[in-house]
Amino acid sequence: MIEPFANREFSCLSLTGERFAFTVRIGRPTPVSNEPDSDWRCPVTVPFDAPVRDIYGVDSWQAVCLALSLVHSQLVDFIQRGGKLYYPGTTDEFTLNDFFPNSTGNA
């Protein structure tokens, strides 16, 4: 389990009609070692994948950006396979452009 500094909840509908909830969590980036030029890692829960994955970057900024990029690509893939995302507790469809401007996943 990670201590998130950012999270987003989704209600999901799969292509097969299965409804389920999912929460994306991005953890605080930390250096891999105590060396001055150490790479950084950022823990993330990736939709429809392993519970927690560390994403690595040359610094904290890149680690966070790469973690967000991974989440985005997983969400795009889910939508392109016919899945739908909704704001929790509503029938309002979540569009990737709401949080990832210029996304090609859906408008």
The span from the CA of 95 to the CA of 84, in Å, is: 9
State the pLDDT at residue 106: 52
Structural domain range at position 88: 4-98
Chain segment 52-83, per-residue pLDDT in tens: 899 999 999 999 999 999 999 999 999 999 99
Question: What amino acid is encoded at 67 in this protein?
Answer: A
Residue 96 to residue 71: CA distance in whole angstroms: 11
Predicted local confidence at residue 51, as pLDDT: 79
Question: Is 105 among the domain residues?
Answer: no
| Mean pLDDT along residues 2-19 | 89
Identify the band that residue 97 occupies on the pLDDT scale cut at 50, 70 and 90. confident
Domain assignment present for 10: yes
**Total count of domains within the chain:** 1
Closest CA to 31 of 44, 18, 43, 40: 40
Partner residues linked to 19 by β-bridges: 13
71 falls within a domain: yes
